[in-house]
Amino acid sequence: MLKQRIITALLLVGLILGTLTASQLWPFAVLTLALMSAAAWEWGRLNQSGTALSWLLGGMLGLGGVLVLQSPFANQAPSALWWSASALWALLAFVALRSGPALWTTLPRGTRWLIGVAALFFAWLALAHARVLGINFMLSMLCLVWMADVCAYFGGRAWGRRKLAPSISPGKSWEGVWAGVCGVWLLAVLWMALDGHFSFDSASLYTRLWQAWGWLGMALALVVLCGFSVIGDLMESLVKRAAGAKDSSRLLPGHGGVLDRVDALLPVMPLALALATLAKP
């Protein structure tokens, strides 16, 4: 299992790095769109859409992304889009996480399908826009989620006592969440130091937040972003628990499915773009 996990991760990293070396946006956008389309297929399977309709959901997301890439919208979107997506994520989290998996299964299947496809599409579009802002900015946004996840895991194992959402994900704790926040604060300081010593293609998310709002404002914004990463993780756990599934699929050997790898990123990327529109260098 570990060997499979490492090989899969190296292949994915190699493909992504290869597209990032291109001067144009489309190689990276197409690769990530393919991944998000696969995640839409997984979402359909988790929400009782059947084989044919699951493929249709993935195809619809892919077609929508291709159409966007042919328009000026691919390089510039109004900030209201990112704020609206973030507000919808906050509302969804409040309703769904408060009520647990039982409420999710009572929603009409069409509503559940729409929620998932919309979340995946806007996350992909935010990722493409982050690439336009700069590789350094995009990587700092992605690494925020990965650092929060890693630190939350180890912090929860070491100090976890108070359960965060036992009916959805019994292993998560409040102590783990705050360990993730502390890890992200440390990452931000280190990344900003690198921004100051090297000439990257763009300012990182952390430098943008610090320049706009100072240390306290940046620290608070990072807490909110970490909170959204937890929301994304819990939402996928809720959907899998309602479906009685351990993984979203077996598309990525050793890792489960695409959704299992991107769940925490989905709400964070639109919010990061929303904050970036307020924190222009």
Is residue 57 within 8 A of residue 40, CB to CB? The reply is yes
Give the model's pLDDT for residue 215. 96
Rounded Cα distance between 245 and 237, Å, is 9
Contact 33, 124 (CB under 8 A): yes
Range of the domain at 79: 2-278
Distance CA 43, CA 20 (A): 27
Output the six-digit token pair for 254: 């050793």
Segment 113-144, tens digit of pLDDT: 999 999 999 999 999 999 999 999 999 999 99
Which structure tokens are listed for 234?
A: 């819990």
State the total domains in the chain: 1
pLDDT at 94: 86
For residue range 55-64, what is the model confidence (pLDDT) as tens digits?
Answer: 999 999 999 9
21 falls in which pLDDT band (50, 70, 90)? Answer: confident
Digit-coded pLDDT (tens) for 186-217: 999 999 999 999 999 999 999 999 999 999 99
Residue 252's DSSP bridge partners are: 256
* Residue of 205, 164, 155 lying closest to 183 (CA atoms): 155
Q: Tokens standing for 145?
A: 């989620």
Task: Let me know how long the chain is.
Answer: 281
List of residues 6+ apart from 263 with CB closer than 8 A: 232, 233, 235, 236, 237
What local confidence, expressed as pLDDT, does residue 205 receive?
Answer: 96
Please report the DSSP string for the chain in residue order. -HHHHHHHHHHHHHHHHHHHTSSSSHHHHHHHHHHHHHHHHHHHHHTT-HHHHHHHHHHHHHHHHHHHHTSGGGT---HHHHHHHHHHHHHHHHHHHHH-HHHHHHS-HHHHHHHHHHHHHHHHHHHHHHHHH-HHHHHHHHHHHHHHHHHHHHHHHHH--SEEETTTEEEEEHHHHHHHHHHHHHHHHHHHHHHHHS--SS--HHHHHHHHHHHHHHHHHHHHHHHHHHHHHHHHHHHHHHHT-SSS-SSBTTTB-HHHHHTTHHHHHHHHHHHHHHS--
C-alpha to C-alpha distance for 52 and 261, rounded to whole angstroms: 24
Beta partners for 165?
169
